Amino acid sequence: METSAHTFSAALPPRLRRASPAVSEALVGAALAAHKAGTLDDWLRRHPRVTRWLLAHWLGPLLAAAGEAPREGGTAAAAALLLRWAVLQLRPDRGAEGDPIGRSEWLDRTSWRPMLALWCQFGFGTVPAFRDRYHGHADEPAASHLCGLWSVGASTYYRYLDKGKRSLAGLLREGPAPADRLGLRELALARTAAAPAAPAERHAWHGRLAQEALGRHDASSALWHWLRSGDVAGFIRVLQRHSVELANDGETELLVAGAADLVQTPRERFDLLLAQAALYRMRGASEPEQQAYEQALRLAADADDALMLGIVYGALGKFHEPRDLDRAFACYQDSADCLWRSGIADDRAAAAPIVEEYVATLVKLAWLYVLRNDPRGKAVLERAAQLRDRHPLSVPALAMLEQTWGEYWRRAGDGARALEHKHRALNLYERIADHQAILKTCGNLALIYGEARDFERAIAYSQRVLSLAATLTVEPEIVASTHLNLGVAYFWQGDYEPALREYQAALDIALRAQLRLVVRRAHYNLAEVHYIRFKASRDPQDEARGDAHAAAALAAWPEESDPAHVQATKSLKREVLGPGNDRAYDRLLPQEFAAHHAQMAEIQRQRELLAVPVGPEQHVRAYLAIANAYLAISVREREAALALIEKHGLGSRFADELDGLRRTFDRQLTREQRLAAAWRAATADLLSAQRCTALVEHLLADGALNKSRYAELCGLSPATASKHLGLLAERGLLAQSGKGPSTRYTLPA
């Protein structure tokens, strides 16, 4: 059975990984002697642990490059080549095997003697003839010949040899640097007779070996073969699909640099930039990740390619999601718009890649709605499901859809449906071995099981993520969120000390990676635990820490991005220290609350005031506040429509609708507004607009006025006031009743 270097690393004996320099030197000496005697194959069979160590650290690149598996003598040939390469690395000039070694290096420069002693003593090369310096015979041993050339005794020669062995053992014990791995691959390729000479056949040969490497879970070797074949598309596919493994490998950066030199089209450059950004994301390097996205955005804009723009806006949305929810939302909306223009509008005629990207963007938009507890996410998910039913989608797209449905149902309070969708997503991700998505889904399952009070499973799923994160490069957001979920499981069990540790670990990771959303959640959870401890112990330090974390939670995230969380944070202390209740804030809101939280919260507050029997003036103010809030909602919706009309040049198509909206506004004017408008038109020669409005408000509130009150409101003399009232009555704006001092003026019936 073929075995990859990745597989061997898991079985590597700890004792060999910590081998002392003396043991390493002894093993290297024995391997060199076996090489000289032609028994290296037998020596490796008799030392299986050493063989596994060599395969794990050194021989994998050599074997993969030559298209060989560690079987049937291939390991021994690779080990012999490794020894030859390693001895050459001791050359002081770092030259390659074909580079000549001059006379002075052979005879006079003592810094070369340890390497030259190894090279000749163990059969990698012969001692050249320098007859003016030493006359050796044809079958003279290398040791004797070199002693003669260097005019040294045997003891001095063997000191040179021992020094060379120590250097060689130190080199091999450290393991290869990324550049060394590339050098070994190139050496193996140059030495193999299996590689075809014809370009077309050579391309196919490398492609076949790349697929075989993937079958052994050796993504680095697959990348190298695609690079050597000149297949940039194949290279990018591997980089995208295996970013978790490749992010751990220092060789990846060198391979990507090589691929960049082969790129021929803007689309290849675009795809390579996005794949690089994914690697940076795995490593938590936010600045170069964002720079890669911005370069890709410029490429897409220069090409005026709607599909490329849609793809990169979607990627930017994912980048901003844990940092700036509003910006992420805008990016996803731009992504959907560009993808729609690239062919989705034709629906069934759309190409599969466009549909795939569009569904992915819809799911991301739905995810953001769900993060805001906005039930509109369901409508977006249903649209994505409709496209899934009409178009074949890839496994990653289907899994992402299931993942988001699971989060929607979790926030809707339906744990059973949430678990059903999350487990479907997990099965799909496991089918394609998407380790990053598997870890994220496990973290989500930990949270759902915790909410269901199945703490054993919640902790088990969290520990699975954190255990793998200790050996693989995992996105910081996944690790931080998992610490949060594990802390929540402890919290629900009343185990507050480990909960605090997990929340703090999440906060530390999120701060380093600038994940503001996770920072906010961690601060909120830390505040909650400290308030609970204060409630039990009355320790003022716990209260102060709770206050500090609550303030930090509010400062970490803009209020307009998540008003429900802001409200939950502001009321957290009161609710924790008061009667116990459900303090979860990640539950779906009523739809209009999600869309217009501030206005709907004000309406709800005013409705509560109307339910209390208080004076009529307070009720009037409440009704007016409600009306004003609804008016603000109406204006926001109209402005959103106008922005889209302007953005897409659709003004003429919606002229009738806008006129209808204006007529609706006119019909819905209050009595006060209609009266004020009529009075302003009829009294322009008598009153200013401000005085006109004051009169109407007074008449609606009190029902009548007299001459003195009119004079007071309008700042007129009694005589002028009397004249005005007469004119207003003549014009039908007022109705007069009574005589003399008891004369009153009211609005007409």
Residue 11 pLDDT greater than 80, yes or no: no
Q: Could you give the angle at the alpha carbon of 308 between the alpha carbons of 306 and 309, nearest 5°?
A: 60
pLDDT in tens, 137-154: 778 899 999 999 999 999
Distances (CA, A) of 288 to 232, 235, 260, 319: 22, 21, 16, 12
How far apart CA 657 and CA 645 sit, in angstroms, is 12
Inter-residue contact 710 to 725 (CB < 8 Å): yes
- Rounded to the nearest 10°, the torsion over CA 588, 591, 592, 595 is 70
pLDDT in tens, 78-96: 899 999 999 999 999 988 8
How far apart CA 226 and CA 224 sit, in angstroms, is 6
How far apart CA 279 and CA 201 sit, in angstroms, is 32
Out of 3-17, 157-171, 549-563, give the one with best mean pLDDT: 157-171
Inter-residue contact 127 to 120 (CB < 8 Å): yes
Residue 345 pLDDT greater than 80, yes or no: no
Out of 190-199, 604-613, 672-681, give the one with best mean pLDDT: 190-199
Q: Is 612 helix (H, G, I), strand (E, B) or coil?
A: coil
Buried b (16+ CB within 10 A) or exposed e, 61-71: bbbbbbbbebe
Average pLDDT over residues 637-659: 74
Written as six digits, the tokens of 114 are 């340890």
Q: Which amino acid is at 305?
A: D
Inter-residue contact 148 to 22 (CB < 8 Å): no
Whole-number pLDDT of residue 580: 46
Give the contacts of 117 (CB within 8 A, at least 6 positions apart): 146, 157, 160, 161, 164
How far apart CA 197 and CA 208 sit, in angstroms, is 15
Q: How many CB atoms lie within 10 A of CB 137?
A: 7
Residue with tokens 């102060």: 544
- Closest C-alpha among 689, 713, 681 to residue 699: 713
pLDDT tier for residue 578 given thresholds of 50, 70 and 90: low
How far apart CA 181 and CA 187 sit, in angstroms, is 10
- Closest C-alpha among 565, 534, 570 to residue 551: 570
Whole-number pLDDT of residue 165: 93
Inter-residue contact 745 to 706 (CB < 8 Å): yes
- Rounded to the nearest 10°, the torsion over CA 132, 138, 140, 143 is 50
pLDDT in tens, 621-647: 777 777 777 777 777 777 777 777 777
How far apart CA 415 and CA 399 sit, in angstroms, is 18
Inter-residue contact 396 to 241 (CB < 8 Å): no
Residue 507 pLDDT greater than 50, yes or no: yes
Domains, the chain: 5-96+103-186 (no CATH), 600-667 (no CATH), 671-746 (1.10.10.10)
Residue with tokens 């409705």: 607
Q: Choose between 7 and 292: higher pLDDT.
A: 292
Whole-number pLDDT of residue 747: 85
Q: Is 472 helix (H, G, I), strand (E, B) or coil?
A: coil
Out of 124-133, 636-645, 735-744, give the one with best mean pLDDT: 124-133
Q: What SS3 string covers 360-393?
A: HHHHHHHHHHHHCCCCCHHHHHHHHHHHHHHCCC
pLDDT in tens, 49-75: 888 888 888 888 888 888 764 444 568
Percent of the chain with pLDDT over 70: 88
Q: How many CB atoms lie within 10 A of CB 328?
A: 24
How far apart CA 272 and CA 359 sit, in angstroms, is 22
- Rounded to the nearest 10°, the torsion over CA 35, 37, 42, 43 is -60
Out of 106-110, 319-323, 722-726, give the one with best mean pLDDT: 106-110
Distances (CA, A) of 575 to 415, 593, 597: 25, 21, 21
DSSP letters spanning 646-689: HHHT-GGGGHHHHHHHHHHHHHT--HHHHHHHHHHHH-TTT--H
How far apart CA 405 and CA 417 sit, in angstroms, is 9
How far apart CA 92 and CA 105 sit, in angstroms, is 10
Task: Look up the pTM and report it.
Answer: 0.61
Q: Which DSSP state fits 737? A: E
Residue 76 pLDDT greater than 80, yes or no: yes
Written as six digits, the tokens of 54 are 């060599």
Percent of the chain with pLDDT over 90: 24
- Closest C-alpha among 106, 126, 121, 128 to residue 164: 121
Whole-number pLDDT of residue 712: 85
Dmax of the chain from CA atoms?
A: 149
In degrees and rounded to multiples of 5, residue 94 shows phi and psi of 55, 30
Inter-residue contact 118 to 90 (CB < 8 Å): yes
- Rounded to the nearest 10°, the torsion over CA 624, 630, 632, 634 is -140
Q: Choose between 637 and 581: higher pLDDT.
A: 637
Out of 6-20, 457-471, 549-563, 643-657, give the one with best mean pLDDT: 457-471
Q: Choose between 617 and 235: higher pLDDT.
A: 235
Q: Which DSSP state fits 735? A: E
DSSP letters spanning 680-696: HHH-TTT--HHHHHHHH
- Closest C-alpha among 351, 274, 350 to residue 318: 274
Distances (CA, A) of 598 to 43, 75, 641: 77, 70, 20
Mean pLDDT of the chain: 82
Whole-number pLDDT of residue 150: 93
Distances (CA, A) of 574 to 67, 581, 587, 714: 68, 11, 20, 50
How far apart CA 463 and CA 459 sit, in angstroms, is 6
How far apart CA 290 and CA 372 sit, in angstroms, is 24
DSSP letters spanning 83-115: HHHHHHTT-TT---TTS---HHHHHT-GGGHHH
Q: How many CB atoms lie within 10 A of CB 531?
A: 22
